[in-house]
Structure 1
Amino acid sequence: MKTTPFTELHIGLGAKMHEFAGYNMPIEYTGIIDEHMTVVNAAGVFDVSHMGEFWVKGPKAVEFLQRVTSNDVSGLKEGKAQYTCFVNESGGIVDDFIVYHYEPEKYLLVVNAANIEKDWAWCQKWNTMGAELENASAHMAQLAIQGPKAIEIMQKLTKENLSDIPFYAFSVGTFGGVENVIISNTGYTGAGGFELYFYPEHGRKIWNAIFEAGAEFGIKPIGLGARDTLRLEMGYCLYGNDLDDTTTPLQAGLGWITKFVDNKPFVGREVLEKEKAEGISRKLCCFELVDKGIPRQGYEIVNVGNEVIGKVTSGTISPVLKVGIGMGYVKPEFAKPGTEIYIKVRNRNLKANVIKAPFRK
């Protein structure tokens, strides 16, 4: 298995380790619920160095990105970030990711760890205009410091004014004595905080600085288990669960990152335009259980007449709400908030209500 600059630290701290996307990653330390609530109430540190990073550079950078991404990068200003996705020829999602406008004619794509090779091949396939592409995944490390106390902790370690970095924006500066660190406000937990991108050799120095600065606030290392429950409480999609090569952005409720503008002849556009005109066959919804139980990925969703109307893609017990919550694709007429649906758990149909995300307000 691959390792990150922090793998030995995780093991030394007693983390429960498991393979994820080919990496030996920490799943939990003190327990998912404890770690989840630490992030909600204070601050936690996630090792997300397994994520992939591609640079797109040169005079053809924008033309390339307009071709391969669903969102419109033409108006993305320097210092800003944008959520987007690659779409295949059938309209399915190859991957969802974030684009950072780093400098003039220079962009950073941060992609899902499990899709690095697939995404890299996809970018090369569609780079017919000759943009400069660099797969920097092996030369970048990333830590996410999340929670309401994160900004207070991190401000001790940088002269960059973190309060001036709005959501989906970033700055580049010195952090914890390390130069040229990307400080990004694009969190995946809904609890506030920042992500740091830096060269792997500086990992230990930055890690130690963060935990020293955060000691008074009860900062803790957090595993991927709590990362999943935190994102689910916000109704954020996870690739491989809620998104894949067969789900379209329109079905996933991502029409807002799918721009049918004149300067965007992106891959899959015609299929998506047709789907938009004719109507989607299924829609991703969030639901909260009324009956006691745990919805799991793959469970059938049925109506009051016990007819199958969809399938659960993500589910758990909410550590904050103490009830079962989940996401799943259903027939569009059942996706409206307030609709009563049922989750088939073994031989029981558990009542649930469709709600508007997020679960954790």
Structure 2
Amino acid sequence: MGITFPRFGTSHVAIGNLLKWMGHDVIKPPDITEKTISLGTKNSPELACFPLKITTGSFIEALDSGADSILMAGGVGPCRFGYYGYLQKGALTQMGYKFDSFIIEPPSRHPKQAYHTIKSLKKKTPWHTVMKYVYIVLTKQKYIDKMHKLVLETAPKEVGEIKSFKLFNEFVQKVEPVREVKSLKEIYQHYADKLYKFQKVTPKVKIKLLGEIYLVCEPAANLYIEKKLAALGVEVQRTIYLGEWFDGHVVKDIIPILKEKETEKTAKSYLSQMVGGHGQETVAQTVQASQQGFDGVIQVYPFTCTPEILAQGIITKVSKDKKIPVLTLSMDEHSAQAGIDTRLEAFVDLIYQKKLQNERGEALWVMGS
């Protein structure tokens, strides 16, 4: 018996730690497989977002493994994410599962609800101890994110078999049980030194990966796009990391004076208002990519994701105006590895040839989804 939560990138380490330290038996969501996706698809609305289907499948597997509680985040705004927890609770209950549901709404919008949910989750742990634990797991997440950035920088520079991703998994396992910030720093430095020794050649091109948060951060959802691009000699810079997201969308939402307006300023001439999800960020980051010397941009998002579909239409214009190649990939349970790989290979080859020839034509460098 225990509590579970969605599989979402490397967040299972920080969330699992926090819940365990507060006295919960934790049942970690299993790795996402074809079975996970099949279970979620079968028990979700046909046109539901791909992340909802995946997380529903994860919950079913965790409940079958003995979980009796589910932790899920809520949300506000045009994005449908805010409905996930409630929809999943209803669907799983109809399937006959009995469990407690904890849905944490954004503290900046629903402070009382968030407070009472966290109060229930913390059990008898004093509030000051909870804050200490939050600091440790958030620091841990940031070190994991920092290591991942270094991996994406290193992998395309390796000669022969790529070892960076395997080393990253080893690093994550090593830091998972750690409860001291000092030790986290030491472990990070040890593995960073190993990665630096792998860097031998210059990457062919540099691409910015952006779009909807779940598909950007969860490898199983984006069909391991980072590994594929690294094998093609591409240095990838991901635009969303969970530690940075928490700072920007939780902490700074609670304390508005800390909130940065860079996204709104950058996107203003193309999209002047928030449209839900990461739509405005996608537009802003595409503009920034053209200013920062990137060779191309890849947008990934779930099929039917309204904010990203809207952004896709706008970054087509950005691509033409700024002369930066853009590839958009909408994904769902029907997406096939071979098809995605073929499109990635063609896109990388196209921008590599463009880079070699240094052409500055007026062609529209966009490959639609």
Same fold? TM cut 0.5: no
The structure whose residues are more often strand, as a share, is 1
Highest relative contact order (Cα 8 Å, sep 6+), 1 or 2? 1
Report the TM-score, using the length of structure 2 for normalisation.
0.30
The structure whose residues are more often helix, as a share, is 2
